[in-house]
């Protein structure tokens, strides 16, 4: 079982983790803010604690997913 056999499974796991990490993040903007309502304070939010860790974990998972997709592209 080589890298080509494991790569699809790695990509599936990374994609599920990425979707979960994105969905778990709290959004500061409400639905009204998406349509131009004045929600000034929602744009400026300092991440702390678990929220900051989740934010950085999302970035790391996204980079790993992009790298696995690039490796898959180059090996095929």
What distances in angstroms separate CA 72 from CA 13, 58, 64, 69, one per listed residue?
Answer: 15, 21, 12, 5
Q: How many domains does the chain have?
A: 1
Nearest to 6, CA basis, from 63, 59, 74, 68: 68
The whole model's pTM is what? 0.72
Model pLDDT for residues 17-52, shown as the tens digit of each residue: 999 999 998 765 454 555 555 555 556 667 788 888
Residue with the bigger pLDDT between 35 and 54: it is: 54
Q: Give me the domain span that covers residue 62.
A: 3-75
């Amino acid at each position: 079982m080589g890298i080509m056999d494991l790569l699809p499974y790695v990509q599936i796991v990374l994609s599920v983790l990425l979707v979960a990490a994105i969905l778990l993040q709290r959004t500061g903007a409400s639905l009204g803010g998406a349509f131009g309502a004045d929600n000034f304070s929602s744009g400026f939010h300092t991440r702390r604690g678990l929220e900051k860790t989740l934010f950085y974990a999302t970035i790391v998972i996204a980079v790993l997913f992009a790298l696995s997709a690039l490796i898959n592209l180059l090996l095929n």
